[in-house]
Amino acid sequence: MKTRKKLSTTAAYFLLSALLITGLSSCKKKETAADQKMTTDLAEKIVAQGTIEAELTSPPNVPKPIGKRKASKINVSLEILEQEGEMVGGVKYMYWTFGGSVPGSFIRTRVGDEVDFTLKNHPDNKLPHNIDLHAVTGPGGGAESSLVAPGQEVSFSFKTLNPGLYVYHCATAPVGMHIANGMYGLILVEPEGGLAPVDREYYIMQGDFYTKGDYGEKGLQPFDMHKALKEQPDYVVFNGNVNALVNDNAITAKVGETIRLFVGNGGPNLVSSFHVIGEIFDRVHVEGGDLINENVQTTLIPAGGAAIVEFKVNTPGTFVLVDHSIFRAFNKGALGMLKVEGDKNEKVFAGKTREGIYLPEGGTIQKMPNGTAKKEIIENKTLAQQMADGKNIFSRTCFACHQSEGQGIEGIFPPLAKSDYLNADVKRAITTVIHGLQGEITVNNVKYNSIMTSQNLSDQEVADVLTYIYNSWGNNKTVVTREMVKQNR
């Protein structure tokens, strides 16, 4: 009896504790909901003072911060343009755009603004369009009030009630097709008093594109509804095309500066795993709202969603922006660059301090050998033998960066096929394989700035792989011998 009483008392204690915790949790949720309603009610009561014209910018630029300006009546005028653009070298696509860019013009407001929105459909366009702004509290986010035919314009108004970073997009049927052709963008609603100052702000938005031709297939490529329904895009890109944020189009900063990225995902289908290689996000406004997450490596951004990420750059270099669903980055285009200039800080990052090979039998670090690896040597190889062996070496050593047909990866790794850089100087090609290459080069009139590491290959292996490359894909059929490689060690 005593034992039962003790158990009953203990059970009652835990039950009471659980009820108290549940009750407190419920109260907290109710208070949070009440707080949110109060914020919305206060925003609704804010009286707009004066009228201003909205500053609209194309990506990756953003308008000036709102700061401490009072709520105002703000005029936004956005033109829809259906226009041909380039997805990647030689691949054309008919984009449907808000403001002539993908993503569309960045719109910056603050809580309590009264927005008078005019949507114009250019007379040369073929289709009617509208706009659904996720920042709007109202039917269809404005879509029901904004359907506009080519050569017409329409106006509607709304009040910004909730701070955050919001997607807008076309919502004309078939909705997915309009979004897939580039009809999306971001609208920022700053809190009262504005966002905290930073040194630089940029606008980046991911989208997935579906074309009749495969990745890189030249010519004007139409939209492919079948691929879109299966959610199998040929291109996943930042800011509308493969080259939007690489090389000369990279965003920039200086060591010591704080960067704020307004990152959206137009979709229409894929979720983005946004990541900056070599950086950690100090702060993330999760899904563009009030919730702050700190010290984040990769943040998920749903289709039709957004996030604000902030970080300080502490060391110089090129930092690569990717969708960390990584084949999208290196094979479909979801890749950008942040180039940071300034003094090196070895306390933060010292770079390579030594290089060697790992020997399991000795466990010591030794100097990297220069072609001294013991390999079987076949004297007087025929061209056919070199081609067969060279293809095997290429498949295990070069394939990932330069691809199966030597086409490279647009904007990142240069092509080997029909390469003027390669064909101009075989000695340079040999030393590149042996010693690696870093810095800007121009291949077929396109600039590349990447890194090729030195390859631990024997003289014969270097000769074989280069002979295979030179005798493939329209190159000049040079035959590289072991002696030629040895002379250039």
CATH number of the domain where residue 75 is located: 2.60.40.420
Tell me, what's the pLDDT at 371? 46
Of 190, 212, 245, which closes a domain?
Answer: 190
For the cut 60, the answer to whether the pLDDT of residue 14 exceeds it is: no
**What mean pLDDT comes out for the span 133-144?**
96
Task: Let me know whether 150 and 208 are in one domain.
Answer: no
For the cut 60, the answer to whether the pLDDT of residue 160 exceeds it is: yes
**Minimum mean pLDDT range among 8-12, 192-196, 465-469:** 8-12
**What mean pLDDT comes out for the span 378-386?**
87
**What mean pLDDT comes out for the span 263-269?**
98
For the cut 60, the answer to whether the pLDDT of residue 58 exceeds it is: yes
Domain assignment of residue 468, yes or no? yes
Domain assignment of residue 352, yes or no? no
Of 190, 210, 226, which closes a domain?
Answer: 190
User: Quick one: pLDDT band at residue 362, thresholds 50, 70, 90?
Assistant: low
Task: Let me know whether 150 and 173 are in one domain.
Answer: yes
Residue, of 402 and 296, whose pLDDT is higher: 296
Task: Let me know whether 285 and 312 are in one domain.
Answer: yes
For the cut 90, the answer to whether the pLDDT of residue 364 exceeds it is: no
Task: Let me know whether 208 and 334 are in one domain.
Answer: yes
Of 157, 190, 223, which closes a domain?
Answer: 190
**Minimum mean pLDDT range among 230-234, 262-266, 328-332, 348-352:** 348-352
**What mean pLDDT comes out for the span 375-385?**
77
Chain-centre distance for alpha carbon 341: 21
**What mean pLDDT comes out for the span 471-483?**
95
C-alpha 85/C-alpha 115 separation (Å) is 31
**What mean pLDDT comes out for the span 242-260?**
95
CB atoms within 10 A of CB 481: 16
Tell me, what's the pLDDT at 41? 75
Tell me, what's the pLDDT at 401? 83
| Chain mean pLDDT for the chain | 88
Domain assignment of residue 195, yes or no? no
| Percent of the chain clearing pLDDT 90 (strictly above) | 73
Task: Let me know whether 185 and 212 are in one domain.
Answer: no
- Token readout for 374 is 């013991």
Task: Let me know whether 178 and 211 are in one domain.
Answer: no
Task: Let me know whether 57 and 182 are in one domain.
Answer: yes
User: Quick one: pLDDT band at residue 361, thresholds 50, 70, 90?
Assistant: low
User: Quick one: pLDDT band at residue 33, thresholds 50, 70, 90?
Assistant: low
**Binding residue numbers for Cu cation:** 129, 134, 169-170, 178, 183, 324
Task: Let me know whether 328 and 374 are in one domain.
Answer: no
178 class by beta-carbon count within 10 Å (0-12 exposed, 13-18 middle, 19+ buried): buried
User: Quick one: pLDDT band at residue 449, thresholds 50, 70, 90?
Assistant: confident
Nearest to 241 by CA among 447, 88, 81: 88
Domain assignment of residue 45, yes or no? no
Contact 77, 120 (CB under 8 A): yes
CB atoms within 10 A of CB 476: 12
Chain-centre distance for alpha carbon 117: 29
Three-state secondary structure string covering the chain: CHHHHHHHHHHHHHHHHHHHHHHHHHHHHHHHHHHHHHHHHHHHHCCCCCEEECCCECCCCCCCCCCCCCCCEEEEEEEEEEEEEEEECCEEEEEEEECCCCCCCEEEEECCCEEEEEEEECCCCCCCECCEECCCCCHHHHHHHCCECCCCEEEEEEECCCCEEEEEECCCCCHHHHHHCCCEEEEEEECCCCCCCCCEEEEEEEEEECECCCCCCCEECCECHHHHHHCCCCEEEECCCCCCCCHHHCEEEECCCEEEEEEEEEECCCCEEEEEECCCEEEEEHHHCCCEEEEECEEEECCCEEEEEEEECCCCEEEEEEECCCHHHHHHCCEEEEEEECCCCCCCCCCCCCCCEECCCCCCEECCCCCCCCCCCCCCCCHHHHHHHHHHHHHHHCHHHHCCCCCCECCCECCCCCCHHHHHCHHHHHHHHHHCEEEEEEECCEEEEEEECCCCCCHHHHHHHHHHHHCCCCCCCCCCCHHHHHHCC
Task: Let me know whether 483 and 437 are in one domain.
Answer: yes
Domain assignment of residue 287, yes or no? yes
Task: Let me know whether 308 and 221 are in one domain.
Answer: yes
Over residues 186-228, the pLDDT tens digits come to 999 999 999 999 999 999 999 999 999 999 899 999 999 999 9
**What mean pLDDT comes out for the span 368-379?**
52
**Binding residue numbers:** 129, 134, 169-170, 178, 183, 324
For the cut 60, the answer to whether the pLDDT of residue 358 exceeds it is: no
Task: Let me know whether 250 and 153 are in one domain.
Answer: no
Domain count, the chain: 3
C-alpha 208/C-alpha 267 separation (Å) is 6
How crowded is the C-beta side of 116, counted as CA atoms within 13 Å? Answer: 9
Over residues 85-128, the pLDDT tens digits come to 999 989 999 999 999 999 999 999 999 999 999 999 999 999 99
Question: What's this model's pTM, rounded to 2 decimal places?
Answer: 0.72
Identify the domain containing residue 322 by its residue range.
Answer: 200-341
Domain assignment of residue 123, yes or no? yes
**What mean pLDDT comes out for the span 343-356?**
82
Domain assignment of residue 476, yes or no? yes
Contact 210, 269 (CB under 8 A): no
Residue, of 224 and 354, whose pLDDT is higher: 224
Contact 93, 209 (CB under 8 A): yes
Contact 271, 302 (CB under 8 A): yes
Domain assignment of residue 1, yes or no? no
Task: Let me know whether 328 and 397 are in one domain.
Answer: no
Over residues 408-420, the pLDDT tens digits come to 887 788 999 999 9
Question: Can you give the CATH number for the domain in which 474 is found?
Answer: 1.10.760.10
